[in-house]
Amino acid sequence: MTRLNKILFILGGLSAAALPVTAIACNDTQKPTPTPPTPPAPQPQPQPQTPETASEVVVREIFTNLLSTTHGRKAGDQNNFKTDSLNFVDTNNGKGKVSNGLKGVGEDKRAKTSIVEKSLINKFGDSAHPVNPEHSNYGSYYAYQYLKKQIKDMGYEYHSEEEILYPTYSETASDISLYYYDNELEAQIISKMKDNLKKDGFFTQGFLYNLKNSRNNIGNNLVVTINPSSKITNNNTINVKDFYIVSHYDSTNNVGPKGTSWGATDNASGVAVNLALLKHFSKVENRDKLGVRLHLIFVDAEELGKFGSTAFVSQFLYGQANEELLQNSLGMINMDTVAGGDYMYIHSPDTRGAKETDNTSPLLRDFINKISKERATELKDDSQELKIHPQFVEEEFKQGETGDWSDHAPFYQIANLPVAYVESTNFGVKSKNKIYDGYAQTTNPKAWVLKDGKTTLADQGKTLLKRTLENGQVVYDWPEGMTDADFAVLGDIWHSDLDTLQWINENIGRRFYKQLDTVFNTLTRFLEKMYTKTDSGITYQQFNKTN
């Protein structure tokens, strides 16, 4: 996620109970006799851990395999392609050269898969160069190849040609901009992708994006469509609505001295749950409970500016040519950093300063929260709830709302669809932004790293300061006498050196995988509960707010 803030909590181990000690008293005149043992003080007993559910095992294996194979997944041409394969040009302002895309694109100025893959630094499936545990970044294109194989192996048909033809390179674009397929020049490609949106299976949407220091960067979205079974559609005689669940698969590292993030929480967690949903719905019997045409979308280049989600929305959910699909769409869920924080939340968009055309309806958020509360009650486990955070300070985020820094933004700002955002963090912790905005993910002192890049608050025996605001909300502030200048990492695991598989397993452990499982099971139930089938058709839960 690209934002200013996030937090986390770690389960501590219980010490073993002390053994009772028998005291022996003796003197010179009589045999020593044992004194009665002093009863040991009552010791806290470890609470029995619930066994892993079948779905938790699945999502843990998916997450572990994903992260062990792909590691960090930085987007952008310079993180994915060999330097000598890039075309560098002088900038107009004389400030040096910028990358202007791949060499060898031909007279049509269009990259294609064969050019892209011969230019890669790291190619997935290259037996001559197996995954190196010490290599932190394999690039987002490597992850794209990995995901494509995983989805195929689940039985989903790949509708794209193996040779993807990307949009035409721009020679004059500057600053940050986005390019997708032109409606006139590439009408055939667009038409095929729109047809594929309705069919079971998946396709690649290639796109280009420009940054300040590089142009014509390659991006790839993987768009999977799952239709309900004929049992739901009465042999395709009932029209079903469209719904979108999105997770970005790229990652970044801009917190901490080493730059070794694997993007474990942000956002291998969201990708893993979406892969688990794909596995679930690969079974026909599970589609008997699906009432929408579900689109699970893996988007690229979120960390650089939400380019993948913007490309999808701009191509398929914006403008007169896309009005039919837009009108048939119910909403979108953004899956960004869904595990790893102290709590799991469900958000709606920030209404402060929102445009009149923005869809800031909280109804999708509230419905998912209701579903999660029902599960928590059934399981007698409050941690199963996807919470709605309170408002901590009057000027800051309102209850249940969050910013526009992730992939939900294009869906509610451009497509004007209702959205909800699943995120694991802690809104009650003072972040590096010096407010309670959810950027610090956890109170865990091991996630608060000092400027030397090694020492943590845990090493110093320190914790955050707990206090209660006048409105009754409990918050956590930095230790007395410490400022943001004292830290390299302020509880924000994402984007930091901490965001690796090893750190997650050592410092969060089982709780992380329970969170993944909670999100997975909440979403499957949500998809079952969002509609009612009658003899005459299907009635859907409405998520647009009406005046």
DSSP state of 133: T
How many domains are contained in the chain? 1
Q: Is there a domain that residue 519 lies in?
A: yes
Whether residue 473 is contained in a domain is answered as: yes
| Residue 515: CATH number of its domain | 3.40.630.10
Q: Can you read off the two tokens belonging to residue 270? A: 């969201």
Q: CA Rg, the chain, in Å?
A: 26
Instruction: Tell me, letter by letter, the H, E, C secondary structure of 85-125.
Output: HEEEEECCCCCCEEEEEECCCCCCCEEEHHHHHHCECCCCC
Would you state the pLDDT for residue 14?
33
Reduced to 3 states (helix: H, G, I; strand: E, B; else coil), residue 412 is helix
What's the confidence (pLDDT) of residue 441? 98
Angle of the 140-153 helix axis to the 54-70 helix axis, nearest 10: 140
Has residue 494 been placed in a domain? yes
In SS3 terms, 341-376 reads as CCEEEEEEECCCCCCCCCCCCCHHHHHHHHHHHHHH
CB atoms under 10 Å from CB of 210, counted, come to 22
pLDDT at residue 1, as a whole number: 67
Is the distance from CB of 100 to CB of 87 less than 8 angstroms? yes
The domain containing residue 208 runs over which residues? 53-81+120-137+174-253+270-540
**Residue 1 included in any domain:** no
Q: What is the pLDDT of residue 416?
A: 98
Which H or E element spans position 408? helix 408-413
Query: From CA 208, how far away is CA 206, in angstroms rounded?
Result: 7
Place of tokens 């992380």: 512
Distances (CA, A) of 111 to 84, 119, 166, 510, 543: 16, 11, 5, 44, 40
* Crossing angle for the helix pair 187-196 and 307-316, to the nearest 10 degrees: 90
Q: Count of CB atoms within 10 A of residue 131's CB?
A: 14
Q: Tens digit of pLDDT per residue, the chain (547 long)?
A: 655 443 333 333 333 333 333 333 333 334 444 444 444 444 444 445 678 899 999 999 999 999 999 999 999 999 999 999 999 988 766 677 889 999 999 898 999 999 999 999 999 999 889 999 999 999 999 999 999 999 999 999 999 999 999 999 987 766 567 788 887 888 999 999 999 999 999 999 999 999 988 999 999 999 999 999 999 998 888 999 999 999 999 999 887 778 899 999 999 999 999 999 999 999 999 999 999 999 999 999 999 999 999 999 999 999 999 999 999 999 999 999 999 999 999 999 999 999 999 999 999 999 999 999 999 999 999 999 999 999 999 999 999 999 999 999 999 999 999 999 999 999 999 999 999 999 999 999 999 999 999 999 999 999 999 999 999 999 999 999 999 999 999 999 999 999 999 999 999 999 999 999 999 999 999 999 999 998 889 999 999 987 6
Residues found in the chain: 547
Q: What is the pLDDT of residue 7?
A: 32
For residue 269, what are the CA distances in angstroms to 4, 262, 336, 513? Answer: 19, 11, 8, 9
309 three-state secondary structure: helix
Q: Give the Cα separation of 407 and 399 in Å (integer).
A: 20
Judge whether 547 lies within some domain: no
At 536 the pLDDT is 82
